[in-house]
Amino acid sequence: MKHAYTWTAIALIVFASVTGDVLLSRAMKQVGDVGKLHRHSGLLKVMARILRNPYFVLGIVAMAVAFFSLLFGLSWGDVSLIAPASASLTFVGNAAAAKIFLHERVDRRRWIAAALVACGVVFLAG
Amino acid sequence: MFASVGDSMLSRGMKDAGNVSIHRLPDLILAIRDPWIFVGIFFLLGFFAAYMTALSWADLTYVLPATSIGYVLLAFIAKFVLHEQVTALRWFGILLIAIGVSFVASGPELTSHHSGQDPAASGPELTALQEQR
């Protein structure tokens, strides 16, 4: 049972953080290049523009869900399982989600990068 | 130019976020008044701002692996500042991450629609993209 809770938490963390990353990325693409905007209209206006973006707000909510899922998971399982498992699955999940929802061109190079980083994270926790 | 500025921002953000999270983990609940927590929150905000800035001009699948260079920095901090034992297995993991990051960093940072200013984003890859769409 404990096992099931742990993996449910990992699945929740991965799902929520992938959702959050996709939403935040979409929001920032809508806002536009912050460096250029900053030079044109100043920091406060850029921040207001970001904070008013609905995708940004939803993304933050998703990130909060991911964080509380992490806390939930840590109350059931070991940090040495949950942290690397969720981090590495998030890398791979993000590559897929970015391709599907953001229409990013995830070429072989990026898949390999995501896989290498995911493996590296697992080793790092080992 | 933007890439270099962003990368330095990113690495700074990750370094700070990573550095503090070491201190943050064990006393997450008990030591809320610990000054490390304040510093930690401050640096995490800094990291988040840098992350958002990077996302405004680069793909998610570029930014995310790039931020994982923070794991590599974290290992060096753990070794040289905190004098932790970093095992061979961990160095192997760090090596894998570093290779992964170099893979993605050698490619174009944005699934591009701007007009050929970035030589990495033009050429056969861009035409392939246009065909795909």
pLDDT in tens, A23-57: 998 888 888 887 778 778 878 888 888 888 899 99
pLDDT given for residue A19 in this prediction: 93
Kindly report whether the global pTM for this prediction surpasses the value 0.80: no
Euclidean distance between CA atoms A75 and A84, whole angstroms: 16
Query: For the residues B13-34, what does the mean pLDDT come to?
Result: 56
The yes-or-no verdict on residue B4 having pLDDT over 80 is no
Query: For the residues B16-27, what does the mean pLDDT come to?
Result: 55
Q: Distance of alpha carbon B63 from its chain centroid, rounded? A: 7
pLDDT given for residue B17 in this prediction: 58
Counting other chains too, the contacts that B16-23 makes at CB distance below 8 Å and 24 or more residues apart are B16/B43, B16/B46, B16/B47, B17/B43, B17/B44, B17/B46, B17/B47, B17/B70, B18/B70, B18/B71, B18/B73, B18/B74, B18/B77, B19/B43, B19/B74, B19/B77, B19/B81, B20/B44, B21/B74, B22/B74, B22/B77, B22/B78, B22/B82
Q: Give the DSSP letter of residue B121.
A: G
The yes-or-no verdict on residue B132 having pLDDT over 50 is no
Residue of B55, B99, B125 with shortest CB distance to A28: B55
Residue of A24, A107, A110 with shortest CB distance to B52: A24
Query: For the residues A87-114, what does the mean pLDDT come to?
Result: 84
B-chain CB neighbours of A99 within 8 Å are 61
| Model confidence band, residue B18 (pLDDT cutoffs 50, 70, 90) | low
The yes-or-no verdict on residue A87 having pLDDT over 80 is yes
Q: Which domain holds residue A13?
A: 2-125
The yes-or-no verdict on residue A16 having pLDDT over 90 is yes
Q: Find tokens 């984003």 and name the residue.
A: B121
Check CB contact of B89 with chain A, cutoff 8 Å.
yes
pLDDT given for residue B90 in this prediction: 83
User: Over A53-93, what HEC string results?
Assistant: CHHHHHHHHHHHHHHHHHHHHHCCCCHHHHHHHHHHHHHHH
Contact A86, A122 (CB under 8 A): no
Q: Which domain holds residue B19?
A: 2-132
B-chain CB neighbours of A126 within 8 Å are 89-90, 93
Contact A123, B71 (CB under 8 A): no
Number of domains in chain B: 1
Other beta carbons within 10 angstroms of residue B77's beta carbon come to 16
Number of domains in chain A: 1
pLDDT given for residue B101 in this prediction: 82
Residue of B53, B92, B99 with shortest CB distance to A123: B92
Q: At what angle do helices A79-101 and A54-74 cross, to 10 degrees?
A: 150
| Model confidence band, residue B26 (pLDDT cutoffs 50, 70, 90) | low
Check CB contact of B28 with chain A, cutoff 8 Å.
no
| Model confidence band, residue A107 (pLDDT cutoffs 50, 70, 90) | confident
Q: What is the pLDDT of residues B38-75, one digit of tens each?
A: 676 777 777 888 888 888 877 887 888 777 877 787 77
Euclidean distance between CA atoms B71 and B76, whole angstroms: 9
Query: For the residues A91-116, what does the mean pLDDT come to?
Result: 84
